[in-house]
Structure formats: structure tokens, C-alpha cells
Amino acid sequence: MKNKIITIVSVLFILAGIVAIVMLFADNGTEKTDDAQIEQYISPINVKVPGYIREIRFTEHQNVHKGDTLIIIDDREYVIALHQAEAALIDARSGRKVVGNTVNTASTSASVFESTIQEAELRVEKLQRDYDRYSRLLDRKATTPVVVEQYRTELDMAKARVNGLRRQREAANSTVNEITQRRENAEAAIMRAEAAVDMARLNLSYTVITAPADGFLGRRSIEVGQLVNPGQTITTLMPDGPKWIVANFKETQMADIRIGQTAEIRIDAIPGQVFGGTVSAISSATGSKYSMIPTDNSAGNFVKIQQRVPVRIDFSDSLPAALSRRMAAGMMCEVEIDTKEN
């Protein structure tokens, strides 16, 4: 009897050893974790202009398509602002027209002065020749001093007229330059007015908030009549896009995990199915470092806690639409990475 008991105990020890060896070899070359979940991009839908909500056209977790209207903000102030901007643009264009006509008139006056000065200068040249000729005649006693003085007076008057015309021409050119500057200012005013109209139209368009992409909406945190401000989130959108897994492995498991290794994914909500995946990214920091308040071990109350490192795993094959819809962001998974692959 005693020998029989010893035999049974020996067999049990041998079986336990075999099981341990099998388990050791079974686990060798893989790393597992059940601290994993499905992830996808979640985009906030924000308000761009302040105002009171006039209408809400969506419900929580609703399936929407790109361009669907979600909320409408009271737009009366923005319509008025657009009309004011358009009126300012009309005024600016009218001002440019008036300045343009003034420039044309001033330019014409300057041109008239130019031709008049040329005629006056020709008269001065003629009178100068006549004066010089009669001065020589006076030297020969062939004319009287009165005649010479008369030509001298006409010459001085002609020169004075030329000088006066030149001053008037300078004044006219100065006026042209000034009005030209005013025309440039008028052009700048039009550009500012056009920009104001564009901004007013843009702000008016922002009073209608639409879905930026196809997908499912999140929670609703607004009501009709509520005042909303720029940057405020009215809901979130989970677009119809790729999904992936973020698996958090213990720091002691990270030695052999590499980018490009294959993985098996089991999703708690979809039992009986195994999905293939590939390691696409490994965090350079532990998950605790990404928290809002990272752990500070310098405070003195140190408790050693084993850290985990986030690892991104992409699905190897594209997911059918029906299956993808069953995978909600945040669902828990089990992941096993084949670390024999380098």
C-alpha cells in the first residue's frame, strides 16, 4: 500500500513537471495581455461663432452623413452684420469713383498747363529776340528808348506769366499726386470692405453647424435657447474610419516586443473570433506619463507599481462594415504577440 502511494505521488509530480514544461514552452515566444481596448479617432464638433441655439437637429449616438445639419444658431445679428458690410463696400466703391473722376480732372488741368507754358515760353523767346534787336537799333540811334522800354516791359510780363504758369503746373501736379494717393487709399478701403463682407458671410455660414464626415455622434450637451461660445463642443463624431488596438503590456514584457510582429486579437464582445494584427507603434513612455497628473515619485511617499507601456496594433485585414460597427471604441480585448519574429 505504501509503495502504491509513493508511486501515485511520483506520477503526480512527473505530470506536474510535464505540465509546467509544456506551459513554459507554450508561453515562450509570446507575450499576452488582457489590458487592451479598441481605439478610433473621435473628433469634437465645436462652435465657431457665439449665439443662441435656435434649432437642434440631431439626437445622441445618431448615424450622420457629411453635410447633415446638426444645429442652427440664431443668425439675425449675422445677417445685419452682412448688410452693414455690403453697404460699407458700396460706399467704398462710390468713393473710388469720385476720386477717379477728380484724378482725371486734375490730370487734364495739368496737361493744359503744360501746353500753355510751352506757348508762353515761345512768346518769351520771341519777345527776347525783339528786345535784343531793338536794343541794338537803339545803340545805332535807329529807334527810340520808348520803343525799347515797351519791349522790355512786354518781355518782363511774359516771363512773369511763364513763372506763374509753372507754379500753377507744380500745384496741379501736386494735386494729381495727392489725389492719386487718395485713389490708392480708396482701393485699400475697397479691399478692406470686401474682406469685411467675406468675413460677415463666413460668420453667417458658421451659424449652421454640419457634420464634417460620415459617422456616429456622441453625447449631446446642449439645449435650444442655450448660449454657446466659440470653441465650445456640442458633441463628438466617431467617423467611419480605421480602428486599431492599444494593448498595455507590463514593462517586464517589453524586452522582445518589436514593430512588425504579428498578434492575435480576441475581443470580449465578439467571442469565438480571432483577428490578426500587426504591431505598428510602441510608446516611448509608460501610460502613466500620459495622464493628466503624472506620478511624481519625488514626493517621498514612494510605492513601486509595475508600469505598463502602450503598444498599437493594427488589424491585418480590412474589417467588413458590419463587423466594424460591432467594434465600439473602448471595448476590451485580449492580445497575444508572437515575439519570436524579429
Q: What is the mean pLDDT of residues 283-293?
A: 76
Own/partner pairs for 319-324, CB < 8 Å, 24+ apart?
A: 319/243, 323/270, 324/240, 324/243
**What is the per-residue pLDDT for 6?**
58
In tens, the pLDDT along 142-154 reads 778 888 788 788 8
**What is the per-residue pLDDT for 301?**
62
C-alpha cell of 206? Answer: 458658421
In tens, the pLDDT along 200-222 reads 999 999 999 999 999 999 999 89
Query: Which domains, ranges and CATH numbers included, belong to the chain?
Result: 30-41+239-338 (2.40.30.170), 51-74+207-237 (2.40.50.100), 76-205 (1.10.287.1490)
Taking CA atoms, 80 is separated from 53, 85, 169, 230, 263, in Å, by 18, 9, 48, 20, 60
Using 50, 70 and 90 to split pLDDT, how confident is the model at 64? very high
- Sheet hosting strand 233-239, strand order edge to edge: 43-46, 233-239, 215-217, 63-64
**What is the per-residue pLDDT for 292?**
60
pLDDT at 296 over 70: no
- Record the pTM: 0.64
